[in-house]
Structure 1
Amino acid sequence: MKLIWLRHGETNPNRQRRYCGHLDPPLNEKGRCQAEAAAARLAVVEPVAQVVASDLLRARQTAEPLLRQLSTATMQVTPLLRELSFGEWEGLTYGEIYSQNPQALHRWLSDPVRRSPPGGETMTQMGSRLDRWLHEILRHAGTEMRVIAVTHGGPLRWFISRYLKQDPASFWDRSIPHGDVLSVKWEGNRWREQP
């Protein structure tokens, strides 16, 4: 099975980097362009059976151009692909969080696998949602099936650190930019990145 991860397009106005988490902002203009460009790139890959998106608006809006380009693909929406819940920090910038509670921010950045933002999720909690979804698709997917998953930065980092690097502590080491893709293939006992 081949899985193509797609990170949703940008949402924040004026390129402000806010922790959106479970907030539900729409794509901004650049984000809509990123979604269209990603759909055009992915339309030339092998046939895709299914597009699965996080239930949050920014992911669903990123998936819409894919469905127009990939006429044979079906669409599924699931909360299992949602971004990490940032709790009290949702909607805030890094600078705002730092000025309000630098100690809590430092604790979370130092150990996101076991610590959570106040009122939010740990990476392990978010990862358990993602793990359930991966288990489901592997149970139902054929070996030649191709799926595009439209999700967020946190789930992508979790997948890379847990499944590709096999080291959840490497969570901060690699990210996927908005509107970009990561292609992986299930090889029977593990996921491997594809060019």
Structure 2
Amino acid sequence: MILVWLRHGETRANREQRYCGWSDPPLNRRGREQAVQAAEALSGLQVQRIWASDLLRCRQTAEPLQSRFSGVEVEEASRLRELSFGKWEGLTYEEIRSRDPERLQGWLTDPHRVSPPGGETLTGMESRLQRWLDSITPELAPGDVGVAVSHGGPIRWFVSRHLEGDPGKFWERSLCHGGILAATWDQKEWREVSVTELMKRGGTG
């Protein structure tokens, strides 16, 4: 099976570099353009399933996909949500640093055990994401393609945990808004593959 991760398009809060988390801003104009471009980039694939975080920015990013792949319904999945930043949501990094420097440093140093105030640890986010991944993997046949529209944090988790094999590399790699990452599952492990290569295969694994 092939799993394609798509990061949602840009929002005004993203442009202002504010932590969104579980808050629910819509896409801005650039974000809507990114969603259309992503659907076009994936148009050569044979997609069987589409999942999206239930937050508005992901549901809006998934709309062009549903138009492109007629007959494939978008399935909302709350487990694909971004990390909850609690009381930090809506704030910039500089605002958080000025208001809560000790908690911020603790979170940056050990995010698996330290959460934003009223928010979620990385361990909590990773647990729900793994439950989602374990639930969808048996549902897809070897040649099937699924697209998951999610957020920066969940995609970092997938890359560090399942592609790099090192959760400690969580901060090392991310996707831009509207960015795409694809991976194949061979019943044992995940391997990254380029969308271009998938097209050459005819859109299947």
Secondary structure of 1:108's partner? helix
CA drift at 1:13 = 5.3
Give the fraction of aligned pairs with identical amino acids, expressed as a percent.
55
Separation in 2 of the partners of 1:156 and 1:8? 11
State the alpha-carbon separation in 2 of the partners of residues 58 and 65 from structure 1: 13
Give 1:71 deviation, angstroms. Answer: 1.3
CA contact (8 A) 2:20 2:85 kept: yes
Q: Distance between the aligned counterparts of 2:182 and 2:39, measured in 1?
A: 14
Separation of aligned partners in 1, 2:134 and 2:16: 35
Cα distance change of structure 1 residues 51 and 112 upon mapping to structure 2, 3 Å threshold? same
**Post-superposition CA distance 1:17-63 (Å, at most 9, x none):** 1100000000011101100110111112x210011000000000000
Give the Cα separation in 1 of the matches to 2:114 and 2:160. 16
Corresponding position: 1:49 with 2:30: no
- Alignment CA distance shift 1:148-1:14 (3 Å): closer
SS in 2 for 1:171: helix
Distance 1:95 1:12 in 2: 17
Q: Which position in structure 1 is the counterpart of 2:183?
A: 184
Letter of the structure 2 residue corresponding to residue 139 of structure 1: P
Matched position secondary structure for 2:191: strand
Map residues 1-195 of structure 1 onto 2, 5 A cutoff.
1-12=1-12, 15-44=15-44, 46-195=45-194
Q: TM-score, normalised by structure 2?
A: 0.92
Change (3 A) 1:68 1:169: same
Contact 2:14 2:20 in 1 (8 A): no
Cα RMSD (Å) of the superposition? 1.1
More divergent stretch after superposition (91-100 vs 70-79): 70-79
1:93-130 CA-to-partner distances (Å, cap 9, x unmatched) read 10110110111111111111221111110111001111
Aligned letter for 1:35?
A: A
Compute the displacement of 1:14 (Å).
8.3
Q: C-alpha distance in 2, partners of 1:35/1:56?
A: 15
* Residues in 2 aligned to 1:26 and 1:64: alpha-carbon distance in whole angstroms: 13
Aligned letter for 1:48?
V
Structure 1's 133 and 13: CA in aligned 2 closer, same or farther, altered over 3 A? closer
Name the aligned partner's letter for residue 49 of structure 2. Q
> Secondary structure, in 3 states, of the residue corresponding to 1:124?
helix
Q: How many residues are treated as equivalent by the alignment?
A: 194
Q: Is the 8 A contact 1:34 1:179 kept in 2?
A: yes
Q: What SS does the corresponding residue of 2:6 show, helix, strand or coil?
A: strand
By how many angstroms is 1:72 displaced? 3.6
Question: Do the aligned residues in 2 keep the contact of 1:20 with 1:86 (CA within 8 Å)?
Answer: yes
Amino acid at match of 2:114: R
